[in-house]
Structure 1
Amino acid sequence: MFSVISASTGLGAWFSGAATGVGLFAVVGAQSAFILRQGILRKHIVPVVATCAAIDAIFIFASVAGLRTLTTA
């Protein structure tokens, strides 16, 4: 089942980071509450979601890259 993911170490790390990011986003924190509030108020929905998604993607990529560097060292 996971033979495709384990075939490439980088791809497996990416999927792991993406799954972690989705799991962290599911928990209602300050950022999620802000997005929900903006959605309810119908104010600046697209820029807020785009900015938060871009920042989350950068953090996920940086954390996966950092953990990969630590594990190979």
Structure 2
Amino acid sequence: MLEKISYLILLIIILAWIIAIILGFIMAFPVGIIGLLVILAMGLLFIKVLKDKFTSKGEEEKYKDIKW
């Protein structure tokens, strides 16, 4: 129970931090657009990696028997 509460508090802090960063980029309008585009690109790449990870279960099964 305490672990879930801790994760919830951390999630709220992370979301507040991200919102503050985005608002800061918007306030620094001409230069801040570059930062927003970087965050957007990193987010899209992160989503692609997660999507590839969840859809590639067959690859993990193929190499399961190999001893490294």
C-alpha displacement of 1:33: 1.9
Map of 2:43 onto structure 1: 56
Higher Rg of the two aligned structures:
2
User: What do residues 24-73 of structure 1 show as CA deviations (whole Å, max 9, x unaligned)?
Assistant: xxx83433320112212436221011100000000000000101113x44
Structure 1: which 5+ residue stretches go unaligned? 1-26
Identity of aligned residues (%): 13
Alignment RMSD: 2.2
Q: What pairs with 1:11-50 in structure 2 (closer than 5 Å)?
A: 28-42=15-29, 44-50=31-37
CA distance in 2, matches of 1:43, 1:31: 19
Unaligned runs of at least 5 residues, structure 2: 1-13, 62-68
When normalised by structure 2's length, the TM-score is: 0.52
Separation in 2, partners of 1:62, 1:32 = 23
State the aligned residue count: 46
* TM score, norm. by length of structure 1: 0.49
Q: In 1, are the aligned partners of 2:26 and 2:32 still within 8 Å (CA)?
A: yes
